[in-house]
Every structure is written in structure tokens, then in C-alpha cells.
Amino acid sequence: MAVAARTSRLALTQPWRAVVSVLLVLAAAGLAAQQAPPPARQALPAPPSPQAQQPAPEVQRPVFRTGANAVRVDVYATQKGVPVEDLTAADFEVYEDNAPQKIDAFDHVKVQLPGPAAVRSEPRTMAESREMAADPRARVFILFLDAYHVHQTASYNVTRPLMNLLNRLIGDDDLIAVMTSDMSARQIMFTRRTDRIADMLDKVRRWGQRQQEVFSDDPVEQLYQECYPPQPGQGGGAVSPVALGMIERRREKMTLDALEDLVRYLGVIREERKAILLVSEGWQLFRSDPSMMATTGANPRVGIGADGRTVGMENRYVNRQCEADRTSLSGIDDERRFRDIMNLANRSNASFYPIEPRGLTAFDTELGFNPSPSVADDFTMLSMRHDSLRTIAENTDGVAVINSNNIEAGLKRVVSDLSSYYLLGYTSTNAKMDGKYRAIRVRVKRPGIEIRARRGYQAPTADEFARMSPPAAPPVDEAVAAVTKAVASLEGATRDAPVRLTVSPGWWTPAGGASTGKPAAAEPALWILGEVDTRVRTGDDWTQGAEVDVAISGGKDAEPIVRYTVPVAAGSTRFLTRFPRTVEDVWLDPGSYVVRVRIKPTAGGLPITDTARFDVASPGSATAMLLGQPLYLRRGSAAASPEQATSDRRFRRTERLVVQMSATLVPDRVSAELLDRSGKTLQVPVTDAVVEKDSVRWVRAELALAPLATGDYVIRLSTSRGDRTIQTLAPFRIVP
């Protein structure tokens, strides 16, 4: 069993790590909507446009060039710890390998106070999150939880300060991801929803694993303890010195491996600075130790058992794995690896902000199941750990929060440090594509100002530059590309979640004469659908039904336009409401809106909240046909089975799928067909129809799923009126 290998068993046997990944995606928004009577029907002005909110002319952003010798540098300028915000391009001097460079692009980025996390624009896929991270005006943060080097008590105590830090630090355009020592950097998912990360931290407070070796559920650590059990005369500890030494060295190696992987990855996704918020108590930075290879006396005996069979052979094999690991671990040089990581961080423009979660501490080792080291040795270890944190901060232009019982005050300095910075762009006078490292030095002419800036970059080679210039892309089949994009949307819509909330904007045509300000033809309407997944949301009784508070707001900062309550019948965990409910409700002008729901079980328990953003389109002319967003329904295979609206796009072969969209006008022609995930038409009949019900014209497609295999599919609905044809794609997934 090679020590360097990071087996998948590791992640599967550590429950808190799985929770980190799941909660980051599934945590719901924490904003509640309260009940209020519906207001009288009236015309509602559209939410104010950005131009109306900011009458001043738009600021022209500088253009930062791209190319082999175009370089961007982010600069943090402070005076006595306070950001300096009135510098101009003329105040800076940039040198590359001591050669002066001309600044040809300049921008000052000042991070504004963050708005509500629940309404921030959120990346839907890992690829989209990486694209957002490449924006130079968006700051990128990684919260690295070094569980192997944090005590459980410390992980609990640091939770609240970390949550407060995220709420103050992350702006509306910023991105943050969570990573642990047993993750690959390519697994991290950036998000703008700090409330989700805060919820994860609140639920998984005791994530620290340091000095928990005796309780470890890591199969490799268990193997070490089985191979090298405590021997008489070794101090009576629960874990032998040999096994403990191997575990500590392996944990430190895995942590440094993860940090190196993270720094390399961050250097690829963007050129501008990346901030790593490192929660750790520091490392000993182990060096080669030949004494670890001394005889342990733990070699297993091989003999004949009571049943006449040879015993001990499998232990002998296990011992060989342990011995191979012991040899490898005894020769590691983490001090050199540590220096390499700092150099790589400087080249990747990544800064470390270490946070020592214990605060002011006098001892490094807590009382546990193993004998504590001497006071002198303990002080030495504490100094080494803190020195490692200070060193990585100082050498990567970060700030270390160490040796303070007021962690909040230290974290405020981190917030201040990252709240204002400058972006400088220049075209390097060195046009050679030699792959060499170029050192960058930034000076400011004004006295008394401290500068922290990117220290350098790696110039591309000729081959790398050729690869940077992609060949001409082949012609794109737009129909196939649209199907591929539709299928990709299933990844975010088919995950388990405590509650699924979907808002389908569309149209209805209420009976009666036109009221003042009311559109002459179709009127905007919403279908708000929510489903509680009791498999995910356990511990509450939903058998007696629930009550849903619905609030609709015009824009992310506006007050609710309307609030009302929807009952959920006993035995159900689903609700569907249309707004406007009657002609007495307000009607919605074109613009952007937010729906917030709060679902509380009738039998008592914690409510679930969620938020969705949507846009209302203009009805256009009275002769132009428009379609609403698809609404999914499921029903049994029997002809008389009732239809049930659903937010879950996963279906079984025993069901029938119905997709329907509201229309402003009656179409002349409707056709539907089934496609596979590659866009190929399948010879499976899809029934289409136009149905009018409750003042709504529905364009419908119905499909029996029995002939289909497990996989992803798309229903393509073509709706025509006159010379106008609208094609709608409705992706879904067949599950076992």
C-alpha cells in the first residue's frame, strides 16, 4: 500500500467530509416569508432598472490585454493597516527582472458590502464556477479546513468566527469554495452563497481530527495500529509510538499534497490573486528520521491453528504493507516540500491567510490517550507549528491570525486587507517565450504606504503559446448544442435536496373585461411548485401536512409585493400555487423578481426555506404567440391515474411524463418528438395536444416511459402560429 496513494476509501469512511460536499450544494436559503392578506388588484410598476437606480453615466472599465507578454498584477496598498484608496496609475512603478515596465491598464477595485446571500447569482456547474472565477474583478477564496491538524474543541470554537468572517468578507461578485486534506482541487465547487457554507459549518462543528487517532475510522490508520500495537515498556499509550509517528507523518504529507494540488490548480484557473483561508494549528514539517526503521518486534508469528490450517499469513502480508509505508514515511522531507509550496504559491499568485483556531495557547498537546511530551518538547512543537503558519503567510503576502483569544479581531484585519486593491496591466518588454520565471517588483511613490503585490510569473514557452492559441473551432450544430446544454442542466436538477422549489413563469387569460392598466390579452402568471424530500429532511413529522408562506419581491433589495399562505394536505409533501390566484391579485409587469417560501410541518418542527429568482417577459403584441416555462407532471401507467406536478426531473419506467407550457395565443400547429442525449430522434411516440383549463391555454406533450432505458432524454416541442415557430426542450432522466 503506497503511502502517496490517496484511496477513495478515505473519503468514504469520514462522514464529516461527505457532509462538507453535500451541504455546500444542498443547503437552502435562510430567509423567511410571513403571511399577509393579498392586496387589492392594481397595476404594479416594474422593478427599477439599473439605469434608473444609478443615473450617473456608466464608468468605462479599462481593457486588460491578453497575449504571450501581457501581464496583470494585483496590488494591495495599506497605510498602518488601512487600505489606501486614492492612488492613481502615476503613483505606481512596475519592474520585471529589474527592467521598468509601462502600465497600460489600471483599475481600482473596492469591494462593497455584500447583499443577501440568498439572491446572489450562483454558478450552476463546476465549469461555470471556473468561468466566473476567471473574472479579474471577482475575488476568489478557498476555505481550507486542515482537519488533521486541528483539535475537535478548536474546530468547534472557531465555527462562529468563521461564519461571521464569511458574512463580512464575501461580496456579491466573489466566489468561495471549501476544501479538505483528502480532496482533489478539481473537486472543489465555487459558490457565492456564503449562507450555505455557514450552514455547513454550523452543522459539522466538530470536524477536527488531531489527537483522535485511537478513534480513527481511516482504514490506513487502523492498519498501522494493528501492525504496530503498543508494546510493554512504551509508556502505556493507546497508540504505539511507531504507529503514532507514521499516522502523524502521513497526515502531514497528505495535507501538503492537498495544498500543493490546490495552489497548482488555482494558478491555472486565473492569473489574479487567490486567497486561501487556511484553518490549521500548523505543522512540524518532518524531516528524514532513520530511527523509525529500528526493529519494532511486531512481526507476526506464522503457525498451525487448532483446525490444522496455517494461520498468520495474512497478517504477514499486511505487515509487509506497513513496513513499506514505514520506510517511505521515515524518509520524507516536508520542510523542503513546504518551501516548494510557498514558491509555487508565489508563481500562482496565491496568498495564504492562516487562522489558528485555538487562539492564545500555552501547550500544543491536549491530555489524551497517549502520554504527553515533556514541557520543553511541547513548547518546541508549538513554536514549530506557529512558525510554519507565520512563514507561509509572510512569504505569500498573507496575514496570519495567531496567538490571540480575540479571533474575531484578527479576522477583521483579513477583511480589511482584502477589501480594496488595484489591478495593473502591462506589456512585458521581454518578448522571449523561454519558459523562465520573471520576477515582478511594484513600488509606490507616495511615502508611508506598504505594498503587497504579485511577485512574478512563469513565461510561456513557444509550444505553450501555440497551445494557448486554439485552432479554429469546427462548425457547431446549434440544434445539437442546445440539446447538450439542456441535458447538462439535469446535473443541478437531479440532486437530492431537503426542498425543491421551481418557479415557471407563463401566461393566463382571466375572463371578464380589461381592468385599468391590465394587458388587453394574456397576463403574466407564475406557477410556484415545492416538494419536501423527507428522505433528506428527516426528524420532522410531515404526515399531518404543512403550511407554506409565499413572498414575492420585485428585485433583490425590494420589499415583498405580496405574501400569502398555501396549505399542504395531510399525507402530502408537495404544493403548487399559481399567482395571480384570482383577478383581485396584483399583476406583474416585466422585470426580475424573487420568490421566497417557508414550509413548516403542521405537527411542529423546524421550517424549511428556499428562494428562487425569475424574470417576467413582456406579453408583446396581441398577435405574437409566447410560451411559458415548462411545467413537469408525472402520473402512473394506468389511463385514469391522476397527474401530479413535480420539481424532480427523475422518472421511472413505470410512469408517464407530461410536459406542459402556457401560451398567450392558441397555436396553429403542435408537434412533439423524443431525442436522446446526443440529439438523435428516437422512434418513440409522443402525444401532443392543446388544452384550455382555468383560464390557461396549455401546450402539452405526454410520453409513456416504459420503452426507455436508464439515461437522459429530451422532449422537443415545436409550437407554431402563422410563420412563427417556437421550439422548447424539456430534459429528463430515467432512473432504475
Per-residue pLDDT of 217-227, as tens digits, reads 788 888 888 88
Mean pLDDT: which of 306-310, 353-357, 490-494 is highest? 353-357
DSSP string, 105-122: EEEEEEPPPP--GGGS--
Are residue 238 and residue 297 in the same domain, yes or no?
yes
Are residue 463 and residue 492 in the same domain, yes or no?
no
The residue among 468, 501, 535 that closes a domain is 468
Strands (E), 411-496: 420-427, 437-444, 450-453, 456-458
Are residue 121 and residue 104 in the same domain, yes or no?
no
The H-assigned helical ranges of 631-711 are none
Dist CA 92 CA 89 (whole Å): 6
Query: How confident is residue 190, by pLDDT bands cut at 50, 70 and 90?
Result: confident
Write down the pLDDT at residue 731: 94
3-state SS record for 158-176: CHHHHHHHHHHHCCCCCEE
CATH number at residue 497: 2.60.40.2550
Query: How confident is residue 469, by pLDDT bands cut at 50, 70 and 90?
Result: low
The better pLDDT of the pair 190, 300 is held by 190
The better pLDDT of the pair 142, 533 is held by 142
Dist CA 722 CA 386 (whole Å): 74
Name the 3-class secondary structure at 82.
strand
Domain count, the chain: 3
Are residue 612 and residue 510 in the same domain, yes or no?
yes
pLDDT tens digit string along 128-156? Answer: 777 788 777 678 889 999 999 999 888 88
CB atoms within 10 A of CB 183: 22
Whether 293 is covered by a domain: the verdict is: yes
Are residue 492 and residue 386 in the same domain, yes or no?
no
Are residue 624 and residue 653 in the same domain, yes or no?
yes
Dist CA 545 CA 531 (whole Å): 12
Contact partners, residue 56, CB within 8 Å, separation at least 6: none
Write down the pLDDT at residue 182: 83
Q: What is the mean pLDDT of residues 703-722?
A: 92
Are residue 123 and residue 86 in the same domain, yes or no?
no
Whether 41 is covered by a domain: the verdict is: no
For residue 589, which amino acid is it? D
Write down the pLDDT at residue 209: 85
Whether 24 is covered by a domain: the verdict is: no
Tell me the HSE value of 444 on the side-chain side, using a 13 A CA sphere: 21
The better pLDDT of the pair 356, 621 is held by 356
Dist CA 197 CA 183 (whole Å): 17
Are residue 434 and residue 496 in the same domain, yes or no?
no
Mean pLDDT: which of 64-73, 264-273, 307-316 is highest? 264-273
Are residue 438 and residue 464 in the same domain, yes or no?
yes
Whether 31 is covered by a domain: the verdict is: no
Whether 491 is covered by a domain: the verdict is: yes
Q: Are 291 and 215 in contact (CB under 8 A)?
A: no
Q: What is the mean pLDDT of residues 384-405?
A: 87
Q: What is the DSSP letter of 698?
A: E
Whether 648 is covered by a domain: the verdict is: yes
- Domain of 397 in residue numbering reads as 113-302+310-418
Strands (E), 175-273: 175-180
Name the 3-class secondary structure at 569.
coil
pLDDT tens digit string along 440-467? Answer: 999 999 999 988 888 888 787 777 666 5
Are residue 123 and residue 100 in the same domain, yes or no?
no
CB atoms within 10 A of CB 207: 23
Q: Would the pLDDT of 53 be above 60?
A: no
Are residue 457 and residue 505 in the same domain, yes or no?
no
Whether 34 is covered by a domain: the verdict is: no
The better pLDDT of the pair 88, 19 is held by 88
Q: Are 425 and 33 in contact (CB under 8 A)?
A: no
Name the 3-class secondary structure at 558.
coil
Dist CA 625 CA 230 (whole Å): 79
Least confident residue range of 260-264, 356-360, 380-384, 626-630:
356-360
Are residue 540 and residue 682 in the same domain, yes or no?
yes
Query: How confident is residue 631, by pLDDT bands cut at 50, 70 and 90?
Result: very high
Least confident residue range of 68-77, 232-241, 650-659, 720-729:
232-241
> Angle of helix 15-26 relative to helix 194-203, nearest 10 degrees?
150
pLDDT tens digit string along 571-617? Answer: 888 899 999 888 888 778 888 888 888 888 888 777 888 888 888 88
Q: Would the pLDDT of 9 be above 60?
A: no
Whether 215 is covered by a domain: the verdict is: yes
CATH number at residue 288: 3.40.50.410
Name the 3-class secondary structure at 682.
strand
Write down the pLDDT at residue 485: 86
Write down the pLDDT at residue 32: 31
Q: In angstroms, how far apart are the furthest CA atoms of the chain?
A: 97
Least confident residue range of 23-37, 394-408, 711-725:
23-37
Q: Are 185 and 179 in contact (CB under 8 A)?
A: yes
Dist CA 8 CA 184 (whole Å): 11
Q: Would the pLDDT of 49 be above 70?
A: no
Percent of the chain with pLDDT over 70: 77
Dist CA 375 CA 363 (whole Å): 8
Q: Would the pLDDT of 336 be above 60?
A: yes
